[in-house]
Structures are given as structure tokens and as C-alpha cells.
Structure 1
Amino acid sequence: MKDEEGLSLINQLLEIYDQGFIAETLNELGFDSWCRETINRWVRGKVDRKLSHGEFEHLQALFPKPFQSSGHEFRFVDLFAGIGGIRRGFEEAGGKCVFTSEWNKYAVRTYKANHYNDSEHVFNEDIREVTLSDRPEVSEKEAYAHIDKLIPDHDVLLAGFPCQPFSIAGVSKKNSLGRVHGFECNTQGTLFFDVARIIEAKRPSAFLLENVKNLKSHDKGKTFKIILQTLDELGYEVADVNYDGSRDPKIIDARHFVPQHRERIVLVGFRRDLDVHQGFSLKAISQHFPEQVPSFGDILDPEDQVDEKYILTPKLWKYLYDYAAKHKAKGNGFGFGLTGTQDVARTLSARYYKDGSEILVDRGWDMDAGFDDMINQSNRPRRLTPAECARLMGFDRPGESNFKVPVSDTQAYKQFGNSVAVPVFRAVAKMMKPRILEARIKNEGRRTEAA
């Protein structure tokens, strides 16, 4: 094996895994001659090493495999992708991801460890480098041309964008510069603006936007109203809601798919001129609920296989217990969420790494024991492990541990807490697919006529 090929492989893997993990993986073959410093020195050109054929193949196995070997039925882009929860659902429906944008370097590692990307796929970190939204001197026409050049054509746009307050400050200045009104004016300076620019430039047949439940009330409803007006202006029909917000959008609770209470607002829209939107409603998602939802106990590892580091220390357990007792005495509902095997867990949040209080695994602690004994007993509650979080979010099914976590526990908890429940979007993708394929046929017919 040539040195250049081995070094290229190592450099690709370092985008996902650290040097220590790569060395440990190589040593699994039984030679024990690799260490973190060896990898570092080789990458810096300080040492001459070669990978054997077996070592090369062993490392190649760390990369994700294609989700399916057969052809894909539609194409999509994955914006504000996180660790790819929405992507996973649309891949399972037969889609191919051709563009991903995610700025968090740790989320990018997890994403690349779990999602196969061929040579056609484009990976972007800062979406503003594509939309040029941080360059006010660039005209809309120039920005759209830049987007069209960098983002491959696609049928569906997926985005779990963060919400921010909109401001119309600066309108008069734009008027003096001859800038357009509408979304280019009203959404400037927000991340939704980048989504809108891409929709305008690429004209996908459909989109799916995901956000937290309170998006509708964010900034006293102004944020949601501008989003809907923008999508209407762009020529899209949004399911279950009018552009003025007079009908309620669909809020989906993941508890119908996984043992976790997790409500998210989902906006699905289809290009109005393609006329494939009639009758589509996310209210029909109930038809796709599984016959049996896994129990909380189903997603847990056997207790004898869980590292003791996930068990709360007596000090932390006492703090959480006292905190809950104090608020209970005041009539408040604040406190830890002790979760039994048949319970539905609270929402896993990005702050889970701090103390795990919203979802504590009940290990059978004795409420009737004396206070000190109760706090110090060995069966104190514990946090979920990252592998259990992957199952709770639907990245893995009960009993599986296929989802790779190449980051620290702290980063993993943040990533899962910011992600989506995969089975929810698997169901939404399944609902959207017939209309996506119908739109593809119509678009192909138009291209044929134009030719």
C-alpha cells in the first residue's frame, strides 16, 4: 500500500475521529505499535510509516456505508443538519442527500461518521458562504447565481433552522439603494433568510421546516407570521396553515413513535405551480403511528453493562433531591424527572450534560429509607448513556448500537438534545413521497417541452 494512500485515508478519518481512536482501532489487529503521537508525527511528515493492506481495510470500515445500493427516487438538501436526524428519515424513503450544511464542528464529526456521502455530495459549514447573506453589497441576482452554482439541484429542501426575532430596521436604507421589498427585506439578518434565499434560487418542489413548538408564539407571533408570508410570497402552499396563521400548524409529539414527550412544529410546503399540494395534511400522520411504541425500558442497556460514571454522585443526587423538594413545597413543578421502564420520558434537551435531571433512569432507589441512606444508596438514579440517547431519539432501534458517537459524552448529549426524533420524520417523508415523485414527473415534462 502506498504511503500517500494511507496518509490520505488517515487525514480523512481525522475529520471524524481523533488520533487516539485511530491508533486504538489499528491496534485491534494485534500489533500494538500505533499510538496518538505516531499518528500525529506521520501526519506532520515526521515519521515514515506504511499501512498494511489489512490495516488499510480495517480503517476503511470506519466510514459509513451507503444507505441503499439501489437507485434513489428523489434528491434533497439538509440545512442546519445537526447530526442528520431529518436526513435519516428521508433516506429511508428513497431520497439521496446531495448537499449538507452544518456549522458545529462536533456535530459535523458525528454526521460524517454516520452518513455516507459520495463524490456528488457537497458539505458546507457556514451557510452564509453560500447565500452571501453577510455581504449586503451583493445584489439579490448575484446571490441567487452564487447559490445556484454551489448547491446541486434537488427536489426537497430540509431545514431545522434556529429561530430569531425578525426586524424590519433598515428598510428605508434599502429603498434608497433600490433593493426589493418582501422577504429580502423583512427576513434579512436571520437564518431563515438563508433558507428563503435558497428556496428562491433553487425552486425545489417541496420543503420541510422543523422547529420548536413555541415558534408560533416566538416574538409575540411576529416571527411565525413573517415566515408564513415569506413562503407564500415564494410561491409555496404550506400544509395545515394559512399564510396569515389563521389555521394551526401541525405540532407532532414524538411520544407516538418513541418513549419520549417531544413536541415539534413541522411545516411542509409544495410549490404551488406544480399543483401537487391539494389534500395534503400532516394531521394524517396518525395513520403512520406504529402499532406498538418501544417502552423506555426497551431502549436501556442492561444495568450490569452500564459504566458507573453515569450513576449520579451522592452530592449531585442530594442537590437535585433538595431542589425538587424546595419547589414542591412552593407548589411548583420544577424538579428531576425520574423515569421508570414503562414511563414516557421528558424531552431530552441540549443541557442534559449538566446533570441529566430531566431524564433520570430509576434504578429502584428506596423512598422509604432514611434521608442519608436514600441519598447514599448504591441504586441512585443515573443518566442515560449516549447509546441509549441514540435509541431514545430513534437513530437506533431497541437492542441496537449502530449509531457511531465519535465525540465526548458532553458533545453527544448536546447533539442528541438538539436533534429530532428520527421515526417522526420517517413517517413525514413517507407521506410526502408520492407528491414529491408526482412533482418530479411534472418538472421533467416541463423540461422536455422547453427543449
Structure 2
Amino acid sequence: MYENLIQYLRAATVAAFPNLDGHDELDAEITHWVHSNRLNMMRDVDGLSGALGNALSLFRQEQNATYEDILGELRFSPAAQPAFNFIDLFAGIGGFNLALSVNGGNCVFSSEWDKSAKKTYFKNYGKVPYGDINQFTGEGITEEELDSWIPNHQVLAGGFPCQPFSHAGVSARTALGLAHGFDCDTQGNLFHSIAKIAFVKQPEVVFMENVKNIVTHNGGETFDTIRNTMEQLSGGREGKQNYRFFHAIINSETEVAQRRVRCFMVCVREDIWQEQGDFVFPEFLGESIALREAIAQAGTTPDEAAEYTISDRLWQGHIDRTQRNLARNTGFTAHEANLDRPSNTIVARYGKDGKECLIPQEGANPRKLTINECRVLFGYPDNFWHPEVKTPAYKQFGNSVVVPVVSRISESITNYLQIAVEDGLQVVNA
């Protein structure tokens, strides 16, 4: 019924506003409106909100359904009484969304450019993310426009891609002092979008994730730029505040059966820090989880195992390249996984040849992880929707955060902010 509602609202919108037909962000605007009764990019379209409200009322009457009935059909429906609002940037398939929602959060804005990931996000959470975040933060976008387009929120979350940073020697304070501008060290990089939104919207916490190597990238200058940008974000502007920067390098192997090491950053607005003190990351202690436990949890059948078994040609190619690369002490190697240890890091290109994690099989070539086993290795629930086609599914999981890790950090953030969580994410078996 939910997807029928979105189709109904889209048809009603196009009938009333023909100029919006084919608009790249129409589905994003409608789905966000359904959850928040708020327009973002199309706030200036006179009469659109009223038209959507009328169409929603007609649909409910025709279906004899309440608003709660409709949202209740989502695999992960919103919290009945959310404790705080957050935005989900570079959203992927919604690992931050799941983790923050379980801890009482309400996602009021999401953005993701990959079309396949956007479909997965919609299938699970009922929102189509907006596309390129530069529509909201890029050159020529004023602070007033950004402020009106992006809803207020307490937590800004995003696992931004790491791109080379330029002008590393320029201080953020000097750059932020420019008129109209946010032409800082991060211009041209996707972290720039996070920084600009944080500057304008001033959330209490900015919660980011990236590869562990971001700390040492470019001799540490990249990380220094990120830290300095957040610590000097106000640029001395009246009414704006700086952020205190905290980070931790965290290995996921005690939460899931995957050795995935990532850098997590939590930036606390200075007035909150003055009240609460330093943010402390949770500790991830205990024994690592064996890969065989994830395989058992996934319940892989013999037929599935056969489907994912690699060919003689591919396996021989792995063997030959491994021997050559070991001899010259450079390049990748491909070995069968040790099932008593966590898997290696699963990357977006895993579907190409599976070399990062090959499951040994008695009397047969090794096999790749099944898509469902990947789901388990990233901590997504049983009823999480993902593509059946292998290539996009591997890519989406390989680009994802590990949900249990982000969930524990999210819990620490809500505790730090003294947010009382009464009713977290509602999980529907679908």
C-alpha cells in the first residue's frame, strides 16, 4: 500500500503541476513530505503541499487506511515517538539510518547519488534520497537557501567519500571569513558539503565515518584539514559555533564476523561540549567472531553454495597471480578464508572475483560469500531488502558501514546528549 501511495501522490502532483513531470527529485520530495509533512527543495511551489495533503486524504479514504497503517507497512517504519532528528548524507543503503533510528532518531533528510542504492533505501525506509548533495551545498547556493531546504536536526550523519584535499596550508578560519562564502580547505571535496551544512544548521553533533587511512592520508594533512575545519567552523561569525573533534579507529570484528577497520569522527558543538565535557567512544572488546558463525546464521543451502562456487579458470588465475605476487613481494594475494577467524574486509568490488574472502569447500573450488552472508557480515536485519542481482548487492554492502558498530556509537551519542529514548525503530517482518 505504501508504494501505491507514492505512485498516487506522484500522479496527482504531475496532474496539478505539469512542469514537475520528470523532475529528478520529485520522488525524493514526495517521500520526504509523506514522513514529515514538509517540502524541502520545492518549498516555493505554490500550492504543492496542499495538493499533496488533499491527495493523501483521498488515498486514505479509498483504502480505508490510517496514516499509521500506511507507514506501518514499511520494513523499518519510523519511531512512534522519536527523540531527536537527524539527516543522513552519503546515505548508501542506510546503515546510519538504521543505527540512529534504533536509538530513537527520526531521519528528516537523506541524500545519495547512486540510483541502485536509492532504490534499496526506498524499499527499506520509504524515502527516496535526494541525489547529489551539491544541489544543496554547491557553488552559488546561499546560506539562506540551504537553511530553508534542509530541515533542522540535532545529529548530522554521513560516511563521506575521501577525495584528495587541496590548499592544506590555508587555515579554515581565514577561509570562512570570506564574504558569502564557504570556500575553505575542503572546497571541491564532499566533506565540504558536511562542513557547510554544519556551519549553517549548527547541529549538536556531526557524526562521520571514513576509511582508517584518512588519518594518515597526504602525510596527515587531510585529517588535519577536517579537524581544523570543524574546530574553527564558526570563522568568528556571530551566532555560529565551533565543534570539538573526537575520533576513534574501530575494528568491527567483535560485533560481526568481518575485520573492517574504520575511522569514526564525532564532532560536538562547543556549547554542548562545555556542558557535557569530552565525548567518549564505546569500547569494542571481547573475542572476534568466527566467519563460520556468520555462514551458519545465514543458513546457506548446498544449492546456494554451488551457485556461488568460482570457476576452475578463476581459481587457477587466483593461484597463479598469488604465486607471482608472493615471489615479487607486491600485489594482491588470494587464499581460502580461515573460517575460525573473521573475514577480511568486504569491498565494493567483491563481486568481481571474490578474492577478499573465498570460502573453502571440500572436494570443490572455493566460493564467494552469498549476498545473504554479506548482509550478516554487515549486521543488517533478516528482513532487510537488497537487490537479488549480485553485482549491485555486493557493491552496496561493500560501501556500507557495519550497523552494530554505528548503533553502539549512536547509543553513546544519545547518552551523551542526554536524549531519553522511549520508542525506537519499528521493525516489520516483511
Query: TM-score normalized by structure 1?
Result: 0.70
1:208/1:268 contact within 8 Å kept: yes
Residue 185 of structure 1: SS of its match in structure 2? coil
Residues in 2 aligned to 1:429 and 1:5: alpha-carbon distance in whole angstroms:
32
Match for residue 405 of structure 2?
A: 424
Residues in 2 aligned to 1:61 and 1:95: alpha-carbon distance in whole angstroms:
16
Task: For residues 118-173 of structure 1, give each alpha carbon's deviation from its aligned partner in whole angstroms, at most 9, with x where no partner exists.
Answer: xxxx8311111111x1x3xx3xxx6211111111111100011112222239x9xx
Distance 1:78 1:69, change over 3 A: closer
Match for residue 195 of structure 2?
A: 196
What is the RMSD of the two structures over their aligned residues, measured on CA atoms?
Answer: 3.4
Residues in 2 aligned to 1:67 and 1:61: alpha-carbon distance in whole angstroms:
6
Unaligned runs of 5+ in 1: 16-52, 54-59, 240-248, 366-378, 441-451
Letter in 2 for 1:129: Q
Q: Of the candidates 104, 112, 116, which is equivalent to residue 102 of structure 1? A: 112
Match for residue 237 of structure 1?
A: 244
Residues in 2 aligned to 1:93 and 1:203: alpha-carbon distance in whole angstroms:
21
1:164/1:223 contact within 8 Å kept: no
1:314 maps to 2:312: yes
1:91 maps to 2:101: yes
Q: CA deviation at 1:322?
A: 1.4
1:227 maps to 2:212: no
Residues in 1 aligned to 2:109 and 2:220: alpha-carbon distance in whole angstroms:
31
Distance 1:5 1:179, change over 3 A: closer
Residues in 2 aligned to 1:167 and 1:392: alpha-carbon distance in whole angstroms:
35
Residue 216 of structure 2: SS of its match in structure 1? helix
Letter in 1 for 2:302: D
When Rg is computed on C-alpha atoms for both structures, the one with the higher figure is 1
Match for residue 262 of structure 2?
A: 264
Distance 1:439 1:164, change over 3 A: farther
Task: For residues 358-379 of structure 1, give each alpha carbon's deviation from its aligned partner in whole angstroms, at most 9, with x where no partner exists.
Answer: 10111135xxxxxxxxxxxxx2
Match for residue 390 of structure 1?
A: 375
Task: For residues 191-222 of structure 1, give each alpha carbon's deviation from its aligned partner in whole angstroms, at most 9, with x where no partner exists.
Answer: 11111110011100001110001101222222
Residue 152 of structure 1: SS of its match in structure 2? coil
5 Å matches for 1:318-397?
318-331=316-329, 334-365=332-363, 379-396=364-381
Residue 108 of structure 1: SS of its match in structure 2? helix
Residues in 1 aligned to 2:194 and 2:420: alpha-carbon distance in whole angstroms:
21
Residues in 2 aligned to 1:7 and 1:68: alpha-carbon distance in whole angstroms:
20
1:63/1:113 contact within 8 Å kept: no
Task: For residues 30-76 of structure 1, give each alpha carbon's deviation from its aligned partner in whole angstroms, at most 9, with x where no partner exists.
Answer: xxxxxxxxxxxxxxxxxxxxxxx9xxxxxx89963344553111110
Residues in 2 aligned to 1:7 and 1:351: alpha-carbon distance in whole angstroms:
34
Letter in 2 for 1:297: R
Aligned residues: 349
Letter in 2 for 1:238: F
Distance 1:182 1:359, change over 3 A: same
Percent identical: 36
Q: CA deviation at 1:5?
A: 6.8
1:410 maps to 2:387: no
Residues in 2 aligned to 1:351 and 1:306: alpha-carbon distance in whole angstroms:
20
Residues in 2 aligned to 1:63 and 1:299: alpha-carbon distance in whole angstroms:
28
1:76 maps to 2:47: no
2:321/2:333 contact within 8 Å kept: yes
1:79/1:101 contact within 8 Å kept: yes
Task: For residues 212-271 of structure 1, give each alpha carbon's deviation from its aligned partner in whole angstroms, at most 9, with x where no partner exists.
Answer: 0110122222211111111001200112xxxxxxxxx41001112111111100110111
Residue 354 of structure 1: SS of its match in structure 2? helix
Residue 156 of structure 2: SS of its match in structure 1? strand
1:280 maps to 2:279: yes
Residue 184 of structure 1: SS of its match in structure 2? coil
Distance 1:157 1:382, change over 3 A: same
Distance 1:76 1:337, change over 3 A: farther
Residues in 1 aligned to 2:314 and 2:129: alpha-carbon distance in whole angstroms:
41
2:209/2:264 contact within 8 Å kept: yes
1:156/1:208 contact within 8 Å kept: yes
Match for residue 130 of structure 2?
A: 124
Distance 1:159 1:328, change over 3 A: same
Distance 1:404 1:310, change over 3 A: same
Distance 1:66 1:222, change over 3 A: same
Match for residue 143 of structure 2?
A: 144
2:259/2:343 contact within 8 Å kept: yes
Residue 366 of structure 2: SS of its match in structure 1? coil
